[in-house]
Every structure is written in C-alpha cells, then in structure tokens.
Amino acid sequence: MAAQTSTLTDEDVVARVCAGDRALFEVLMRRHNQRVFRVARAIVKNDDEAEDVMQEGYVLAFEHLADFAGRARFSTWLTRIVVHEALRRVRRGGRLTFEDDMDDRIDERDTPDPEKLAGDRELARAVEAAVDTLPDSFRTVFVLRAVEHLSVAETAQVLGVPEDTVKTRLHRARTAIQRQLLARTDSLTPAIYDFHLSRCDRVVTAVLARIGR
C-alpha cells in the first residue's frame, strides 16, 4: 500500500476514504502516528494513556472526515482533534493545570532530582524527563513547536491560543529545560517520545477494527 499511495497528498487520501475506500485511512494514521502520539503524550504524560487518546482521536477523525473542509492542513485538523481528546481526558481526571498564571510560576519550579537523570539512561530520556516537569501549557507548546516543528500559527490554531502566547510559552519552556540539561536540549529533542513500530501497528490495528464494525 505504501508504494501505491506515497504520491497521494493527505487531501487525496481523505477524498478517497470519504468516497468509500475506508482501508486507506490506515495511510493517514501511519503518516501522522508520530506527531499524534507526541502531542497526546505531552498532555496526558503517560505512554499507554497517550495510545488510548490516539485511538479515540483517530476514531473521531474518521467519523467526522467528511467535515474536513481543507481550510487548514489535514495534519493540523487531526492534531487539534487529538489535543481536544487529550484535554478532555485530563480534565475528567482532574489533572489539568493549564492556568495562564503558570507562565509566571515556571521559574519557581524545582529542578528534577539529579539522581533520576544519572546512570546509563540515554540523554534523550533525560530530555523527556525534563519536558515532563514543565507545566501542561508549556509542555504541549514545546512538543508541537520544538519537536514536531509546527509553525507558530499552526500551534496557535491547534491549541486555540494567541500566537504571542505560543511564543512566550515556548521561550520559557526552552529556558527551563536548558537550565536542567545544560543547554543540550535542541540537539536531543527529535528523539523524545519516540513512537516505535510495534505501537504504531497496535494503534492502527485497533482503530481499523473499530471503524470496520
């Protein structure tokens, strides 16, 4: 399937899925699994729960695929759905701290215990641990901008916040992480929240089973 669909844009695939070729939805999932996992993981802070969010987000996207109007890129539209699902889940669990005043409290946070970052752990995991200490609003912006390389405008659109807010949160997130990791963040961020093939296959199989019922 990959060779046959590699030249198709996301919009082409969406049109074919809407026309009845439901199996092609797998192409969209495999194209965007890494980003979807990372943004879900940034919000719920748990690998397994992020996987659950991915499944729910994909099912919702499939159910509303006909509503995709192309005003934004498909990846942005999909990411926004996943963000909403992740936020819904953490709000339900009472774990959300997306208050605006977190912007003023970031410098007051304690740095992680150095022992937790010691030993033979890969440095990428140390970056991931540092990212997890950020306030929810900073962590999500950091993953979207620094890890997934969304533009400021796209990030603002996904999160429903002003572009200036995105810029401020990213700057303060970087400052906090660099303070913890001796300015090594930029070279290591592409490796965090890695999405392995086994997880990719598991999510795709589960979603295909659900939408095929």
Question: Looking at the domain assignment, is residue 3 inside a domain?
Answer: no
Question: Looking at the domain assignment, is residue 136 inside a domain?
Answer: yes
Q: What is the mean pLDDT of residues 45-62?
A: 94
**pLDDT value at residue 50:** 94
Question: Looking at the domain assignment, is residue 102 inside a domain?
Answer: yes
Confidence of residue 118 (pLDDT cuts 50, 70, 90): very low
Tokens matching residue 2: 């990959």
How many Å apart are CA 80 and CA 57, to the nearest integer?
9
Residue 6, pLDDT > 90, answer: no
Q: What total number of domains does the chain contain?
A: 1
For tokens 């990959």, the residue is: 2
Beta-carbon neighbour count of residue 37 at 10 Å? 23
Question: Looking at the domain assignment, is residue 1 inside a domain?
Answer: no
How many Å apart are CA 173 and CA 58, to the nearest integer?
29
Q: What is the mean pLDDT of the chain?
A: 82
Question: Looking at the domain assignment, is residue 157 inside a domain?
Answer: yes
The per-residue pLDDT for range 60-108, each reduced to its tens digit, is 999 999 999 888 889 999 999 999 999 998 888 765 554 444 444 434 4
Q: Which domain holds residue 156?
A: 8-211
4 vs 179, residue with greater confidence? 179
Residue 14, pLDDT > 60, answer: yes
Question: Looking at the domain assignment, is residue 122 inside a domain?
Answer: yes
Question: Looking at the domain assignment, is residue 103 inside a domain?
Answer: yes
CATH code for the domain in which residue 99 is found:
1.10.1740.10
Question: Looking at the domain assignment, is residue 189 inside a domain?
Answer: yes
How many Å apart are CA 29 and CA 41, to the nearest integer?
16
Residue 129, pLDDT > 90, answer: no
The per-residue pLDDT for range 21-37, each reduced to its tens digit, is 999 999 999 999 999 99
What sign does the dihedral 139-171-190-149 (CA atoms) show?
positive
